Chain A
Amino acid sequence: MLAFILRRLGQSVLVMLVVALIAFIMFRYVGDPIASMVGQEASSADREALRQQLGLNDPFYEQFFRFITNALQGQFGISYRLQQPVTELILSRLPATIELAFTSALLALVFGVGFGVFAALRPKTISTAAIMTGSLIGVSLPTFLIGIALIYVFAVELQWLPSFGRGQTVQIGWWRTGLLTESGLRSLILPAITLSLFQMTLIMRLVRAEMLEVLRTDYIKFAKARGLSSRAINFGHALKNTLVPVITITGLQLGSVIAFAIITETVFQWPGVGSLFINSVAVVDVPVMAAYLMFIAFVFVVINLTVDILYYVVDPRLRVSGPARGH
């Protein structure tokens, strides 16, 4: 057990290092940060001086080593764009992203399971066909277009919901939440729907498939034979058996929801880490980009590690082969 966990931890650290390395190699090529840092008047000599000052002229391995050493101490330097400590920036943006991600995961779970169960129980009806096809439209349109369309309909034409931002927020400790005010909750609706569509479709399909299989198993047949009500069978037995993989997948997907929030956050001017990242890419704010990627990698590594360990605890046979993962 301990050996397994240690080995997994070791691998996780290795994964983080590789992510850092790859990210770092790429940054050298995504553009020139200097261009956005100095004014039009800066001479070639000035630009060169700033490059030197930032250590951009140092050999690659030196820059990488410096980055790793600082990162280990939780230091990601100063943002080139905003001149503020990166760690602080990311932490201040994190609550917005996490609230958005969790809300949309919840939406996806509730509606995904609901529709999925419905589709499994009434496989041959028109409404099931409509739900199955309709849910595919959600994944057949780029997220940005869905977001803009929602803004157009609900903010501009109907004027029911805000078009951008987080509304009013309340500070609790270092956590700034939008969940406690009316405008905060209203602001959350459109982005959360936009972000949840993809996961909702995924979960719905998964639930439907699992339910169909479970419903065919012997013990359900046996339960039917025993004369249990179909309600008890469907929800007491079938759904319960379906939910384990669904919750696992939803948990695993949480990371990619956070990452996928980049687009949603950009469209809705949602002040999370995703929009921070996109703003940073535009001006090649390397410290922020690096920290963001490390953060995403960290989230995934933690989720994967937790799941692996849980699986190990539940069923030792499952050790090396991890659970299946969705997109």
Chain B
Amino acid sequence: MASPAPTHSEPTSLLARVLDSDVFYSYRKSPVTVVASIVLAGLILAAVLAPLIAPYNPFDPSSLNLMDGYTAPLSDSMMGNYFVLGTDHQGRDVLSTILYGSRVSLFVGISATLFAMVLGVTLGLFAGYRGKTTDAIIMRIADIQLTFPAILIALLIFGFARGIIPPAQQESAAVWVLIFAIGLSNWAQFARTVRGATMVERQKEYVAAARIMGVHPVMILVKHILPNVTGPVLVIATIGLALAIIEEATLSFLGVGVPPTQPSLGTLIRIGQQFLFSGEWWILFFPAVTLVLLALSVNLLGDWLRDALNPRLRQ
């Protein structure tokens, strides 16, 4: 069974410590969280193993046959091929596109969140530690960033990137641009939280002592302050991951996103919603359910994590 707590292979003592900890206790006591983590682990595993377990490779256009299109779930296509969850308008196996699509969504979501986290934490530490002008500038930038809703920022960055990248390279760059755009629209949350915590820690005596002893500021930040903000950062990151995955889907609805030949879950939903009235419900339904399961399980884990890491809420 997968557990979000760090698992280690060799020292049983660490494992024992984890199993014995308050956090694990609260995990075990919450059946919803256990189910959510199993679902999430299953989805991630399926996405990672997509090339091995998917019945078809939907990202290889030359393997597709248009005449397989619109096959209903659990039935044979006109060409005599069998598809468990049916096919879409290009004759792609829906199950395979979901597996490959989750891969794209997770990759974009995780990368964007990591990017936002690294950027936000770094700037937050810096602002909180240096204070004064540095702090004012960074926090004003965060203000501007928060001024613009994430979706709008991503939309503009994407358009901007389209403009400066030569047409021939845009295709391969699309995913990275998307990660950059989503990441850049979410860093401010991290920065705010980390800055606040840093300001508090900076005042403490052990930090002052370390400073007097001539420890390099970067070391102080990394060794003393960073560990104190891990909890909240983790919570923001989890919620941020769910947000990033949904944001990718929303951007896709606005016509911005990964190429249609390598669809993410969001792109699949955008395509699928065209078939809502025409009867091919499976093209929309299965990707949508997958996205809900994915985002919901991430959100539930984040929820639990927030409560578990908040000592004041622990009973």
A residues engaging B (CB < 8 A)? 11, 14-15, 18-19, 22-23, 25-26, 28-31, 129, 132-133, 136-137, 139-145, 148, 152, 156, 205, 209, 212-213, 216, 255-256, 259-260, 262-263, 278, 281, 293, 296-297, 300-301, 304, 320-322, 324-325, 327
Main secondary structure of the interface of A (DSSP, over half): helix
B 129-142 to A, binary, CB cutoff 8 A, 1 in contact else 0: 00000011001100
Closest 6 CB pairs of A and B: A29-B163, A140-B295, A259-B149, A30-B159, A300-B147, A142-B249
Residue of B nearest to A292 (CB): B152
Expressed in whole angstroms, the Cα–Cα distance for A18 and B145 within the complex equals 11
Expressed in whole angstroms, the Cα–Cα distance for A140 and B164 within the complex equals 33
The answer to whether B291 and A140 have CB atoms under 8 Å apart is yes
Partner-contacting stretch, out of B46-54, B68-76, B296-304 = B296-304
Expressed in whole angstroms, the Cα–Cα distance for A48 and B155 within the complex equals 28
Q: Which of these, B135, B143, B269, B312, contacts A142 with CB under 8 Å?
A: B269
Question: Which residues of the other chain, A, contact B163 by a CB distance below 8 angstroms?
Answer: 28-30
The answer to whether A133 and B160 have CB atoms under 8 Å apart is no
Question: Which residues of the other chain, B, contact A209 by a CB distance below 8 angstroms?
Answer: 313
B273 at interface by CB-CB < 8 Å = yes
Residue of A nearest to B246 (CB): A142
Question: Which residues of the other chain, B, contact A31 by a CB distance below 8 angstroms?
Answer: 159
Question: Which residues of the other chain, B, contact A278 by a CB distance below 8 angstroms?
Answer: 254
Return B272 CB to nearest CB of chain A, in Å: 9
The answer to whether B152 and A136 have CB atoms under 8 Å apart is no
The answer to whether B192 and A325 have CB atoms under 8 Å apart is yes
Provide a sorted-by-A list of 12 A–B residue pairs whose CB atoms are within 8 angstroms. Answer: A19-B144, A23-B156, A26-B160, A136-B296, A137-B296, A142-B249, A143-B250, A144-B253, A259-B152, A262-B151, A320-B136, A324-B192
The answer to whether A14 and B140 have CB atoms under 8 Å apart is yes
The answer to whether B295 and A263 have CB atoms under 8 Å apart is no
The answer to whether B149 and A145 have CB atoms under 8 Å apart is no
Excluding A137-B296, A259-B152, A296-B152, 20 further A-B contacts by CB distance (< 8 Å) are A14-B140, A15-B140, A18-B144, A19-B147, A25-B160, A29-B162, A29-B164, A30-B156, A139-B295, A140-B292, A140-B294, A141-B288, A142-B266, A144-B250, A144-B273, A259-B151, A262-B152, A278-B254, A301-B147, A320-B136
